[in-house]
Amino acid sequence: MKNRYSAAEAASFFQAQQGCNPDLAMRTYTSRLIGQEEDLVLHGGGNTSVKSQIKTLLGEECDVLFIKGSGWDLGSIEPQGFPALDLNYLQRLRRLDQLSDEEMVNQFRTHMLDACAPNPSIETLVHAFLPHKFIDHTHADAIVSLTNMAHPEDRLREVLGDKIGILPWIMPGFPLSKKVAELYERQPEIEAIILLNHGIFTFAESGDLAYSRMIHYVTLAEEYIASHQPGSSPVIVSTGGQTAAEVLLPLLRGALTIERGGTYHPFYLQLRQNTEILLCLQEEGAQARYESGVLTPDHVIRTKNHPLWLAPQSSDEEEIRHTTAAALAAYENAYEDYFKAQVTAKGVERIRLDCKPRVILVPGLGLITAGGTEKAATIAGDIAEHTLLAKRRASHIGPYQELAQSHIFDMEYWSLEQAKLDKTSLLPLAGQVAMVSGGGGAIACGIGRKLLAAGAHVYLTDLNEDRLNQVSALLGQEFPGHRIGTLVMDVTAKKSVVSGIQTIIKECGGLDILVPNAGLAHVATLEDLDEQKFRQVTEVNTMGVFQVIQAAIPVFRRQATFGKAPAHIIINSSKNVFSPGAAFGAYSSSKAGAHQLGKIAAMELAGYNVRVNMINADAIFDDHNISSGLWDVIGPDRMRSRNLDPEGLKAYYRERNLLKTEVLADHVGNAVVFFASTLTPTTGATLPVDGGVAAAFPR
């Protein structure tokens, strides 16, 4: 592992942190160096600290411990990510014989110097009880790999030398803190402490030396493991179990949906298929090797202890369904047995977490991870991928030896560990995936905005890539950090539609909300209506709706195989379905056809728990400078016939409806979210969004 410390870079960093405590500036800089290495820490893992002095409000010198705060990632941490605590008080806590987790956290909070600072790391007392100024702690893959083998102490001393201390697995918290301090006092010459099945601490009086020691010992472990790897890489071969992702992923997605109080929470699925993953899964003995437990119990809240091994023997859908059902049932039964055995053995009461896997290994296909949010699926994926590769490299040295389930249970059901997870209330559409056709128009912009605000992952599709990118960019500015997928799609071409939906499945695992919104307008009386124009409008407005619904049905059917979560088709129909206009026959008749398709779909798809509803909108001209394709076509004619300018035309339509109100794209988006939120058991319904046009009342 490369030592990335640079004195010049450090000096530049300090200069940029004007007014910052110098020790804290150094702590921040070297913490970021650690956080840049995924082989050291992943997604908030590890912790670092520095002991320093600050002046209180009264001008008195106070010894403090700056320790990484909960929720901060070392790779991007700022000085404010290190809460300061009264060091002298923390060190006096060592006198206690015992200290509960709850009281320990209370002592942290009541002895912070800034009440608004983040919660300190749960390993704060380890850092406080060790005497060193700078302390670094990571879950380095190479170190943990060596600790998860038989007779790890002998191997660690052989590889890392005699300036290390070694402790067995001990739950983080007060007992671990005391054991670490006692070990150092017995061996004051050591430069690092290895915690079996956990990670490594390094320490020194300077930040660069503590960091350099971390890199040194991890490099020794990496070089030892590398020296035992075979000289040539195996070749990926066909396993005979190549599995169609478009079949398996929706099956899994339906099965992994969690129900709480009548509300269904689907998971995002993430599929990884790189060469190293596929090699791992095809090896002889792969199932036994990779079904084993986590590298470190810190990962269990993200991935559970064991992955699900799923190996259909063909791409036949029935065989995949049978294999998936059997494997999931066995996994959930095993988790239930594990939970019951542990609460019985320990004589404790706990609320069981869900039994569903977060990591699924499929030979011939790859690594699948599940999360309630895209971020959670990514975190599980990164951890699972590192775990696979670490186990593979270590397998050339010796067999993997996982930590006892008793210790795993303690960590998985530890309140302080669970507190690391985001417990904020889920948005109504969290975890759901939506596709909106006609994504380059004003109405799609409003629909996309409201779906994103409700927590959905949104894919916009359109044939016009420039308009699609314009809407995507606008929504991206409003919702930074949200993935907004774009797909160039021709809704009239079956191949294009199927390919687009397959892309969504591969990236997210399935589809929950389909909004056929693509539309085309043409102004002409029936006498003057060109046959080709009529066919073109009908192809988009009717056949386009048919194509996207038909392509989505297999996804909905597969998701419903093992799951009960509803899916939604919400057709953006038109006020013209009930109240057509002269010289608008192609549009009105084609929209009526789409509307009728929605009613048929409501009847046919109810068995898969798909709710199909229609929205009849009217007079939506634009959205944040995104124009309506329909009004781009018909607007000039309407203005000429009424001798109006653009603002006058908007006023005309506003005054025409009963509520005398302007109808916005966001209003259509609100209607979509209403249906998609399953607030009522409704299918086959029509909801006008037109301000009240009496002639268009549904009947």
Looking up residue 129, the CATH number of its domain turns out to be 3.40.225.10
Strand partners of residue 63: 53
Dist. CA 140–CA 222, nearest whole Å: 10
Strand partners of residue 486: 460
User: Over the stretch 80-130, which tens digit does the pLDDT of each residue have?
Assistant: 999 999 999 999 999 999 999 999 999 999 999 999 999 999 999 999 999
> 458 and 412 in one domain?
no
Question: Which has the closest alpha carbon to 417: 156, 105, 84, 196?
Answer: 105
**C-alpha distances in Å from residue 229, one per residue of 139, 147, 587:** 22, 18, 67
> 338 and 477 in one domain?
no
> 291 and 167 in one domain?
no
Does 245 map to a domain? Answer: no
- Could you give the 3-state DSSP secondary structure of residue 290? helix
pLDDT(363) > 60: yes
**C-alpha distances in Å from residue 523, one per residue of 542, 574, 624, 690:** 17, 16, 26, 21
CATH, residue 593: 3.40.50.720
> 381 and 352 in one domain?
yes
Does 236 map to a domain? Answer: no
Which pLDDT score, from 0 to 100, does residue 425 have? Answer: 62
Mean pLDDT, residues 227-250 taken together: 74
Residue 421 near residue 371 (C-beta atoms within 8 A): no
Q: Taking phi first (over 0 means left), then psi (-120 to 50 degrees means alpha), and beta for anything else, what does residue 84 get?
A: beta
pLDDT(239) > 60: no
Domain finish residue from 183, 208, 225:
225
Dist. CA 508–CA 490, nearest whole Å: 21
> 276 and 185 in one domain?
no
CATH, residue 264: 3.40.225
Residue 265 near residue 257 (C-beta atoms within 8 A): yes
Does 556 map to a domain? Answer: yes
Question: Which has the closest alpha carbon to 277: 167, 393, 389?
Answer: 389
What integer best gives the mean pLDDT of the chain? 94
Task: Show the domain range for 359.
Answer: 252-418
- Could you give the 3-state DSSP secondary structure of residue 202? strand
Q: Which structure tokens are listed for 167?
A: 């402790």
User: Over the stretch 538-574, which tens digit does the pLDDT of each residue have?
Assistant: 999 999 999 999 999 999 999 999 998 999 999 999 9
Which pLDDT score, from 0 to 100, does residue 422 have? Answer: 64
pLDDT(269) > 60: yes
Which pLDDT score, from 0 to 100, does residue 634 have? Answer: 81
Mean pLDDT, residues 45-69 taken together: 95
> 397 and 440 in one domain?
no
Does 645 map to a domain? Answer: no
Which pLDDT score, from 0 to 100, does residue 55 have? Answer: 92
**Amino acid identity of 25?**
A
Residue 282: CB partners within 8 Å, gap ≥ 6?
A: 234, 236, 237, 239, 363, 364
Backbone angles phi, psi at 107, to 5 degrees: -65, -35
Does 219 map to a domain? Answer: yes
Does 467 map to a domain? Answer: yes
| Number of structural domains the chain divides into | 3
> 266 and 213 in one domain?
no
Q: Which structure tokens are listed for 603?
A: 């009847």
> 459 and 400 in one domain?
no
Angle, vertex CA 144, rays to CA 140 and CA 149, nearest 5: 160
Which pLDDT score, from 0 to 100, does residue 243 have? Answer: 55
> 446 and 411 in one domain?
no
Dist. CA 385–CA 275, nearest whole Å: 12
> 365 and 342 in one domain?
yes
Dist. CA 502–CA 484, nearest whole Å: 16
